[in-house]
Amino acid sequence: MNEKKFKLYRIFLIIVYMSIPAAIKSQVSGNDVLMFGAEIFIEPGQSDQLIEDWFKTLSDHNMNLTRIRMFENYMKNKSGKWDFSLFDKAFEYAEKYNVKIYANLFPETSFTDVGGFKFPYDREHLNRVAEYIRALVSHFKNHAALYGWVPINEPGGGSIRDPLAREVFAEWKNSQEVEEKNPLADIHHFSFDDHLFLLYYNTWYLEWLTREIRKHDPIHPVHVNTHQIFENVAQYDFPAWNKFLTSLGGSAHASWHFGYFRRDKYALAMSANSEIILSGAGKIPWLMTELQGGNNIYSGYEPLCPTPEEIAQWLWISVATGSKGAIFWCLNPRMSGTEAGEWAMLDFQNKPTKRLTEAGKIAGIINKHEDLFSRAKPVNSKINILYNKESLWVEHRMTPGFDNNKFEARAPGAVMKSAISYFEAFSQMGLQPTFKEFQEFDFEKKEYSGQTIVLAHQIALPEKEHDKLRHFVSNGGTLIVEGLTAFYDENVISIMVNEFPLSDLFGGNVSEYFFEKDLFNLELSNGHTLKAHAFKGIVNAKEGEKILGTQRETIGTINTFGKGKVVWLPSLIGIGARNSNNYKPLLDFLMPFLDISNELHFESCQEGILMKNLKSGENMISVIINKSKSNREITLKGFHQYKKPKVLYQSKTGKINKNRVTVNSEDTLVILWN
């Protein structure tokens, strides 16, 4: 189906959808009400009373949404015929307690397959999945409790060597247009077909699943949850997904997905994760599909049990980034499988934990202010952290394994960690930068005054992107470039050797990179000292102002280009600040190049504090979280037009007096400004 037909089809669905009874409507726009809940795990042996109690528990805690894995393994009787009775009971109790269900497709798989397979093995397997969808969707599509469909749990990964993958790969390869490449690209041995195909294949299967659902249910929304976003994002083609999905979601389990962060940085990780999904969703709504609700013992990379304060932080961060709600994984502990007895918000006697109580309290506050929050939109700063898929692919290819990842710059993850470091730096100023894939940024505008793009160690920059950056800067934008950004093109050809095609924009060429050590001081002649990691770039400047080191070597440039400017420092100062856990020197260097006079922010750098803001009509909602070990008093800037601030929520004893905030360690403070 081409793009024009997709648009017409979506319009048709919305018209049909708006005409059906309100009782079964789900989120289809950014103004729909927020929904909260926890996943209910249904498996054989559960009594009717137990299942009913779970739905009642959700309702008692202001939660009106759940997700259920619709296990095909539990949907057939001994003779192999369809038997939905186990799940029928769940849907009946959901209706009784006014809880809506996201039905998560889960075709037959092995007992040890915790998350479900990502692609069918062969064409016959694909046909079995289609038959499962036909039976399942036809049976439940008219049930009043049905909220929508999740066609696959956590896409990303999976084998591309199986028979079906090889078949689809051949079709995909034959459809590719031959592009002109640097002659070197034809003779070196690097191929990114696996990465390009996996990007395509995830979309191909997700769209196939959606079409199969639509054959039997053209009305209910279709939603999917990403996962392991910092590692898997290069497999996700969000603009393509948005043509057939109704909403986008994500799994953000600290134990599984936040390996790039320490525990005291998990709130920051949630913020960055949420911003990536917000950007990926584009014009469709997004909802955090899975948040860690309880303890993990044997599963997950990092064992932990969230505190009630962490539950509050993660939930409010999701909401403040525009999520239309959240679902915790999970309400009740499953009895069998690899995750048996783990992750739940109920204890083993099915009593609510403090984690569930806190989540229910927050859901109640938001439900009480339904109109306020349903219309609320994130207030992002004019700072845009951009990453690109090509850099992640090239990094995966080029990072050696023989040094046991002794230096982060030589290990997978440095590209994303560099971007994260700037996200964290600006967050410590109370700013709310966007976190976007390069293709998600709008390069079509005619004016970018006040806008900033940060390219932090994005090591591969395709030639087709060069003029987009020139357009951005020449029309008033500020471009901050660091690390080995643009060292390669998408074919792993080093474009810095000989004639650097971006020298006009950046103001020069790199003459050499020197390896220093894990952390070293990058001393500037103007008195600034920045921490840097691994590599020090020396610049042969051609244009603009030189950034000089104390040895009088040129280590960067400040280049005026049209109406804008480029600040280029080709050393890894982001990871340097991150690994030294001190962003103040980096911010002191960067802030003179930014105009934040009209932005909502802190008066000064605040380590361990983050703020996110939502605009709702004439009101502003601020979420401020203190992850430091001490109580803090912070002066807020940019709120002068808002009056009579009041506290909507606090997990401890924070307070607001005009533009002065007191927030305790581990506290989440939510302020409503009129």
Query: What are the Cα distances from residue 443, in Å, to 434, 435, 455, 619, 626?
Result: 15, 15, 15, 30, 35
Q: Is the pLDDT of residue 490 over 60?
A: yes
**Over the stretch 260-303, which tens digit does the pLDDT of each residue have?**
999 999 999 999 999 999 999 999 999 999 999 999 999 999 99
CATH architecture of residue range(s) 602-673: Sandwich (2.60)
Q: Tell me the C-alpha distance between 6 and 218, whole Å.
A: 13
| pTM of the complete model | 0.95
Q: For the structural domain made of 383-593, what CATH number should be given?
A: 3.40.50.880
Range with lowest mean pLDDT among 13-22, 376-385, 555-564 = 13-22
Name the nearest CA neighbour of 362 among 305, 307, 319, 306.
319
Q: In the chain, which residues fall in CATH 3.20.20.80?
A: 3-375
341-345 long-range Cβ contacts below 8 angstroms, 24+ apart = 341/297, 342/294, 342/295, 342/296, 342/297, 342/298, 342/299, 343/292, 343/293, 343/294, 343/295, 343/296, 343/299, 344/293, 344/294, 344/295, 345/38, 345/293, 345/294
Q: In the chain, which residues fall in CATH 3.40.50.880?
A: 383-593
Q: In the chain, which residues fall in CATH 2.60.40.1180?
A: 602-673
**Orientation of helix 389-398 relative to helix 414-427, angle to 10°:** 130
End-to-end CA separation in angstroms for the chain: 47
Question: What whole-number percentage of the chain has pLDDT above 90?
Answer: 87
Question: What whole-number percentage of the chain has pLDDT above 70?
Answer: 94
Average of per-residue pLDDT across 380-396 = 97
**Over the stretch 512-555, which tens digit does the pLDDT of each residue have?**
999 999 999 999 998 899 999 999 999 999 988 999 998 889 99
Confidence grade of residue 24 (pLDDT, cut at 50, 70, 90): very low
CA dihedral 574, 580, 586, 588 (to 10 degrees): 170
Q: For the structural domain made of 3-375, what CATH number should be given?
A: 3.20.20.80
